[in-house]
Amino acid sequence: MALRAVAEAFGTPVYVYDLDGVSAQVGRLRRAFPEAEPFYAVKANPCGAVLRRLVALDLGAEVITEGELARALRAGFSPERILLGGPRQDAGLVAAAQAARVGWVSIDSLSQAECWTRQAGSSRFLVRLNPALDPRTHEHLATGAATSKFGVPFAETAQVAEMLGDRLAGFHVHIGSQITEMDSYDEVFRQLGRLLERFPHVQTLDLGGGFAVPDFPLEAFAEKVRAFVGGRRLLLEPGRFLVAESGTLLTRILHVKPGSVKHVICDAGMADLLRPALYGARHPIRALDKDGPPEIVDIDGPLCENADRLGQGVALPKVGPGDLLAVAETGAYGLSMSSRYASSLRPAEVVLENGAARLVTERESVEDLWRLERD
Ligand code: LLP
């Protein structure tokens, strides 16, 4: 079904995910890393239909909250193939993960290790190393930086690893998201190499996710990784790479305001897609079924903030109210980061499968806004 027909059938704003595109990305990952075990980072896109496709493709899931854990179990990921990570891991989340018998846990701090060692259980543990480097990405996404809250500094990693005793299975590093440069991994491998000398029985390495979209040199990265990892067990946690490019946000133009900057006001904005406002992200935007000489415009949302925009200084053919725009590469961290700011209603989600479109999440209604309120 064409995007225009999707917008007409289901309204706007609407997120559209091409499930066959997701499968194709999984295929590319598997060809580059035939030996790796991928755990999809659910935070990128937790839509049930997307998760079920990834279950069918035999992936694991990386989760960081009780909500993500519940979604992963509901979608059918086997608990053995669920990896719990992240800074939370408080008593409630630890209990939920234990009850679910998750296969893997990434320990993010000494305090978490203490929490977990008080519990029996069969999960295997990884210690997340913070390599304290500059992964050359947006500062919000640089989780491997010395100043970031993630992981354990190199100097303390051995101590945390020792606390875990024979439940220590390996080490974990996730240097950041939207990573384009491979050089940082030289330092990562140097530090991991030293840990492996100290813990020679450890056979598992989790190198996280973070592969940039578009254009991550996955095959070159795989070669570099293979040279270091050798015959050890390799886990990966891709999120964006698997789903971003298969997602499109469709929005309808409400008004066009001429002026020194021409503003195109749309029915989607920062409540629906936060990435441009939060990271200055630039998503490709095109007008459906429009041709003509390009003009430079700002593509704005309907709310009362300057940051409420989808794109700044974008080239579009002449457009007017009622025209449709397609915001590309929005299958990751799109709806998953949406909000109800200004009592905005969350958009619908539609999947494309074998050429057909299917509504998988209804658009919120105004009644949903106060459904949980009590007088
Ligand atoms: N593993 C861990 C431990 C992570 O923290 C993340 C992402 C991933 C894997 C997956 O990273 P990916 O392959 O998707 O880059 N909201 C931001 C991205 C934040 C990523 C947080 N952690 C954005 O819209 O760009």
CATH number where 165 lies: 3.20.20.10
CA nearest neighbour of 264 among 212, 207, 323, 329: 323
Residue 354: count of CB within 10 angstroms of its CB: 6
The protein residue with its alpha carbon nearest to ligand 1, atom 15, reads 210
Mutate to test the pocket of ligand 1, among 177, 213, 274 (most ligand atoms within 8 A of CB): 177
CA nearest neighbour of 159 among 123, 118, 117: 117
Q: Which long-range contacts (C-beta less than 8 Å, at least 24 apart) are formed by 258-265?
A: 261/297, 261/298, 262/295, 262/296, 262/297, 262/298, 263/297, 263/298, 263/300, 264/297, 264/298, 264/299, 264/300, 264/316, 264/319, 264/325, 265/300, 265/301, 265/302
337 plus 192 within the same structural domain: no
Domain-embedded: residue 125: yes
Ligand 1: centre distance to CA 44 (Å): 7
The protein residue with its alpha carbon nearest to ligand 1, atom 22, reads 177
Domain-embedded: residue 370: no
183 plus 74 within the same structural domain: yes
Domain-embedded: residue 369: no
Range of the domain at 321: 3-15+244-363
* Rounded Cα gap, residues 139 and 248, in angstroms: 25
Q: Which two three-digit tokens encode residue 78?
A: 């086997």
Is ligand 1 within 6 A of the CB of residue 206? Answer: no
Question: Three-state DSSP class for 164?
Answer: coil
The protein residue with its alpha carbon nearest to ligand 1, atom 23, reads 333
* Rounded Cα gap, residues 202 and 212, in angstroms: 29
Residue 171: count of CB within 10 angstroms of its CB: 25
How many distinct helices (H) and strands (E) make up the chain?
Answer: 12, 18
User: Which residues carry out catalysis?
Assistant: 304
Is ligand 1 within 6 A of the CB of residue 85? Answer: yes
134 plus 266 within the same structural domain: no
Ligand 1: centre distance to CA 128 (Å): 15
225 plus 262 within the same structural domain: no
The protein residue with its alpha carbon nearest to ligand 1, atom 18, reads 177
153 plus 83 within the same structural domain: yes
CA nearest neighbour of 135 among 190, 206, 185, 86: 185
52 plus 169 within the same structural domain: yes
Question: 158 and 181 in contact (C-beta within 8 Å)?
Answer: no
Question: 85 and 116 in contact (C-beta within 8 Å)?
Answer: no
Query: Tens of pLDDT along the chain (375 residues)?
Result: 799 999 999 999 999 999 999 999 999 999 999 999 999 999 999 999 999 999 999 999 999 999 999 999 999 999 999 999 999 999 999 999 999 999 999 999 999 998 888 777 889 999 999 999 988 999 999 999 999 999 999 999 999 999 999 999 999 999 999 999 999 999 999 999 999 999 999 999 999 999 999 989 999 999 999 999 999 999 999 999 999 999 999 999 999 999 999 999 999 999 999 999 999 999 999 999 999 999 999 999 999 999 999 999 999 999 999 999 999 999 999 999 999 999 999 999 999 999 899 999 999 999 999 999 999
Domain-embedded: residue 375: no
Letter for the amino acid at 9? Answer: A
Domain count, the chain: 2
Ligand 1: centre distance to CA 220 (Å): 21
354 plus 223 within the same structural domain: no
CB-neighbour burial class of residue 34 (10 A; exposed 0-12, middle 13-18, buried 19+): exposed
Chain Cα centroid distance, residue 146: 22
Q: Check residue 215 and give its pLDDT.
A: 87
Is ligand 1 within 6 A of the CB of residue 130? Answer: no
Ligand 1: centre distance to CA 2 (Å): 30
Domain-embedded: residue 283: yes
* Rounded Cα gap, residues 82 and 335, in angstroms: 22
Q: Which two three-digit tokens encode residue 370?
A: 């106060």
Question: 178 and 240 in contact (C-beta within 8 Å)?
Answer: yes
Beta bridge partners of 348: 14
Mutate to test the pocket of ligand 1, among 240, 274, 337, 338 (most ligand atoms within 8 A of CB): 240
Scored b (16 or more CB within 10 A) or e, 222-246 reads: beebeebbeeeebbbbbbbbbbbbb
212 plus 283 within the same structural domain: no
Question: 40 and 46 in contact (C-beta within 8 Å)?
Answer: no
The residue among 243, 271, 306 that closes a domain is 243
The protein residue with its alpha carbon nearest to ligand 1, atom 8, reads 209
Q: How many residues does the chain have?
A: 375
CA nearest neighbour of 46 among 260, 296, 331, 328: 331
Domain-embedded: residue 114: yes
Is ligand 1 within 6 A of the CB of residue 275? Answer: yes
275 plus 134 within the same structural domain: no
Domain-embedded: residue 193: yes
49 plus 122 within the same structural domain: yes
* Rounded Cα gap, residues 116 and 125, in angstroms: 10
Is ligand 1 within 6 A of the CB of residue 141? Answer: yes
